[in-house]
Amino acid sequence: MPSRDGPPDAFGSPYRLLSTAVTPRPIGWISSRSEAGVDNLAPYSFFNVVAVDPPVVMFAPVGSGELKDTPRNVRETEQFVVNTVTRDLVEEMNATSATLGPSESEFDAVGIERAASVAVDPPRVAAAKVAFECELYDWIEVGGSVLILGEVVHAHVDESVLTDGLVDIENLDTVGRLSGSQYASTAERFSIDRPS
């Protein structure tokens, strides 16, 4: 089959190439609190698990210029919460991606109910089925972007997604981000056995 080769910017832009081919991406819906006490909430799909011992997750605000509110808050307070995005929350999640000033809270602007966290100051999204309270583990600058690593110090899991005390994927319709404004539901599933 013929293929086309080239540097990453030969395919529109590195962002276009990477964000379309690396799909579906999980979405970390990150709540943070500014030093001034404003609760911020924004989705980040450059998001994943990095380690399990210690349990560490990462997300990456991209772009050059001024820091977005989330990384600025995390740099100031060294805390954040990752809320999972399920199909029922996707409209609210999307609404929180609007660019608001640092003195405005997406929780209030979008009408999202907060729930108090246990181990960190920023609140979690009350309706999120799973939320991870994180302490900043590391902050790595990559060009104009930042790779933010957070150690999960406390987890909140809604009873409705548990089976025998474990999170059950059958009960958790997490959403993945595709390209641009396209998303994938994870409700359609299949299994294959791993080789031994």
Residues whose CB falls within 8 Å of the CB of residue 76, separated by 6 or more in sequence, listed in order: 34, 35
What mask, x for binding ligand FMN by CB under 6 A, covers residues 115 to 154? ----------------------------------------
Q: How far, in Å, CA of 30 to CA of 5, rounded?
A: 36
State the minimum distance, in angstroms, from the CB of residue 68 to ligand FMN. 3
Member of 42, 57, 128, 134 binding ligand FMN (CB under 6 A): 42
- Alpha carbon 103 to chain centroid distance? 22
Member of 26, 33, 34, 46 binding ligand FMN (CB under 6 A): 46
Contact between 43 and ligand FMN per CB under 6 A: yes
Cβ proximity of 38 and 68 under 8 Å? no
68 or 124: CB nearest ligand FMN? 68
Residues whose CB falls within 8 Å of the CB of residue 37, separated by 6 or more in sequence, listed in order: none
| Joined tokens for residue 55 | 């349990």
List residues near ligand FMN by CB under 6 A.
27, 40, 42-46, 60-63, 68-70, 94, 97, 99, 177
